[in-house]
Amino acid sequence: KAGVTQTPRYLIKTRGQQVTLSCSPISGHRSVSWYQQTPGQGLQFLFEYFSETQRNKGNFPGRFSGRQFSNSRSEMNVSTLELGDSALYLCASSLGDRGARGLYEQYFGPGTRLTVT
Amino acid sequence: DQQVKQNSPSLSVQEGRISILNCDYTNSMFDYFLWYKKYPAEGPTFLISISSIKDKNEDGRFTVFLNKSAKHLSLHIVPSQPGDSAVYFCAASTGYSSASKIIFGSGTRLSIRP
Do the Cβ atoms of B32 and A108 come within 8 Å? no
Please tell me what DSSP assigns to residue B95: -
Residue B96 confidence (pLDDT) above 70: no
Neighbours of A79 (CB within 10 A): 14
* Separation of alpha carbons A76 and A96, rounded Å: 19
Vertex B56 angle, CA B52 and B58, to 5°: 125
Chain A positions contacting chain B at CB under 8 Å are: 4, 33, 35, 40-45, 48, 50, 55-56, 58, 90-92, 96, 98-101, 103-111
> What is the distance between the alpha carbons of residues A35 and B104, in angstroms, rounded to a whole number?
10
Which of A106, A112, A113 to mutate against chain B (most B CBs within 10 Å)?
A106
Contacts of B102 in chain A (CB under 8 A): 33, 45, 104, 106
CA terminus-to-terminus distance, chain B: 38
Residues of chain B positioned with their CB less than 8 A from the CB of A106: 46, 102
Average pLDDT over chain A reads 91
pLDDT bracket for residue A24 (50, 70, 90): very high
Closest to A40 measured CA to CA, from B22, B112, B59, B10: B10
Quick one: pLDDT band at residue B31, thresholds 50, 70, 90?
Answer: confident
Compute the distance between CA of residue A38 and CA of residue A88 in angstroms, rounded to an integer: 7
H-type alpha helices, chain A: 100-104
Q: Which pLDDT score, from 0 to 100, does residue B42 have?
A: 85
- How many whole angstroms separate alpha carbon B46 and alpha carbon A88? 18
The C-alpha atoms of residue A106 and residue B102 are separated, in whole angstroms, by: 10
Q: Are B9 and B109 in contact (CB under 8 A)?
A: yes
pLDDT tens digits, B57-73? 999 999 999 999 999 99
In degrees and rounded to multiples of 5, residue A104 shows phi and psi of -105, -20
How does residue A46 score in pLDDT terms, banded at 50, 70 and 90? Answer: very high
Q: Return left, alpha or beta for B68; rule: phi > 0 is left, psi -120 to 50 is alpha, else beta.
A: alpha
